[in-house]
């Protein structure tokens, strides 16, 4: 788990974030807030956690996209009373009783807790299997710059608030929520046989999607739901939507 922290401070920090991200910043009073920053076209720039840190807010983001996120936030700062700085504290994950100052991962209880400090605990064991079991996508595996967050399950994961007011990309996201039925998206599947990340999923020879994280006979896949009319194939494996599996 390679993460970086961006520290947002200043008198306008909360207002600044509230007008940009997909979730309600007021939820920081209850702990971590899982959220995202989108393009005006509704595509994902980065998913991340907001972390309460006294009078400031930390952004806990995948290291691969951290600089992109910091640059985009700086573009939006304009004359707001906001400072953005890198924070060198380490990000730890763990399971079981939470240490002082740690926060529960808001996406799913099986993902344990996250803590921010000098000492870094070992990452959670079987992280990929935990994510697959909970159908939680991750940057670089299932999530990327072409992702629409509703197709990635952000509503189920508590990563978007439809009552908070305006944010970047809201119009597209709201239209997908209220005016269309999702025809594509990330789902959990059972994999019977050998298949690997990146394998094409087909049904009766027609492309139906792509496998992503594979762990312990299960996987996350990006699928065209209208084509998943029965057992599918990927590599030499049979692939079945998890909800349809016996």
pLDDT for the residue numbered 244:
54
Give the separation between CA 35 and CA 207, rounded to whole angstroms. 31
Tell me the CA end-to-end span of the chain in Å, nearest whole number: 33
Q: How many whole angstroms from its chain centre is CA 241? A: 21
pTM: 0.94
Q: What is the pLDDT of residue 246?
A: 42
Residue 142: what pLDDT? Answer: 97
Helix residue spans in the chain (DSSP H)? 13-18, 63-77, 127-134, 170-178
Question: CA neighbours within 13 Å on the CB side: how many for 189?
Answer: 35
Largest Cα–Cα separation, the chain: 58
pLDDT for the residue numbered 118 = 66
Q: What pLDDT score was predicted for residue 123?
A: 66
Contact 4, 89 (CB under 8 A): no
- Give the integer Cα–Cα distance in Å for 36 and 23: 7
Residue 174 confidence (pLDDT): 93
Quickly tell me which residue has 């496998």 as its tokens. 211
10-residue stretch averages of pLDDT, the chain, 246 residues long = 93 97 97 98 98 97 98 94 95 88 95 83 80 96 96 97 95 88 93 94 95 95 92 93 65
């Amino acid at each position: 788990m390679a993460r970086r922290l961006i520290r947002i401070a200043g008198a306008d920090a909360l207002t600044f974030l509230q007008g940009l991200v997909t979730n309600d910043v007021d939820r920081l009073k209850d702990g971590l807030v899982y959220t995202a920053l989108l393009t005006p076209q509704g595509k994902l720039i980065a998913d991340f956690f907001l972390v309460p840190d006294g009078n400031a807010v930390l952004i806990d983001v995948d290291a691969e996209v951290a600089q992109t996120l910091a640059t985009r936030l700086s573009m939006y700062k304009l004359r707001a009373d906001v400072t953005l700085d890198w924070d060198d504290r380490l990000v730890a994950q763990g399971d079981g009783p939470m240490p002082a100052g740690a926060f529960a991962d808001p996406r799913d209880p099986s993902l344990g807790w996250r803590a921010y400090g000098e000492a870094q605990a070992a990452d959670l064991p079987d992280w990929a299997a935990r994510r697959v079991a909970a159908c939680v996508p991750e940057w670089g595996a299932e999530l990327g710059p072409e992702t629409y967050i509703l197709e990635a399950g952000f509503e189920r994961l508590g990563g978007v608030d439809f009552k908070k007011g305006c944010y970047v990309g809201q119009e597209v996201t709201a239209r997908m929520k209220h005016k269309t039925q999702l025809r594509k998206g990330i789902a959990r599947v059972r994999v019977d046989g050998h298949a690997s990340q990146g394998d094409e999923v087909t049904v009766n020879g027609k492309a139906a999607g792509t496998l992503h994280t594979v762990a312990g006979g299960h996987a996350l896949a990006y699928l065209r739901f209208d084509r998943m009319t029965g057992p599918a194939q990927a590599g030499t494996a049979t692939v079945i939507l998890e909800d349809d599996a016996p």
